[in-house]
Amino acid sequence: MPRLTKRFVEAVKPGPKGTAVWDDEMPGFGLRVYPSGKRSYIVQYRARGRCCRYTIGRHGVWTPETARREARALLGNVARGNDPAEEREEDRRALTVKQLCAQYIEDIRCELLDLP
């Protein structure tokens, strides 16, 4: 496959089940084309003995060059032993500001009620 450029990305035809097109200059960096025509940049890597795919973002929001730089950074983190998909999941499970405020108010209320 050729290098992913804006012209190439926009010329890829969607298949009935969707397709993945891989960049030949950077292993693990690719483009996923959905049957609807939506295009997203992806990174494929191995972490803890299993194959993982991480979606960088949609074409249009991301250019091929910025997605390639992000993929390079993500693959560098994988080489250091991190898992970007796991980090994203931890961020999703983190407390929201609303939950944090509610917890803070509850803790203050409990402290005030314990006062003599």
Region 44-70 average pLDDT? 93
On the question of pLDDT at 64 being above 70, the answer is: yes
On the question of pLDDT at 116 being above 70, the answer is: no
Check residue 1 and give its pLDDT.
Answer: 58
Q: Which CATH architecture has domain 6-113?
A: 2-Layer Sandwich (3.30)
Region 63-80 average pLDDT? 94
Contacts of 88 (CB under 8 A, 6+ apart): 54
At 115, is the pLDDT very low, low, confident or very high (cuts 50, 70, 90)?
A: low
Is the distance from CB of 75 to CB of 28 less than 8 angstroms?
A: yes
Kind and range of the H or E run holding 87: helix 84-93
Is the distance from CB of 52 to CB of 45 less than 8 angstroms?
A: yes
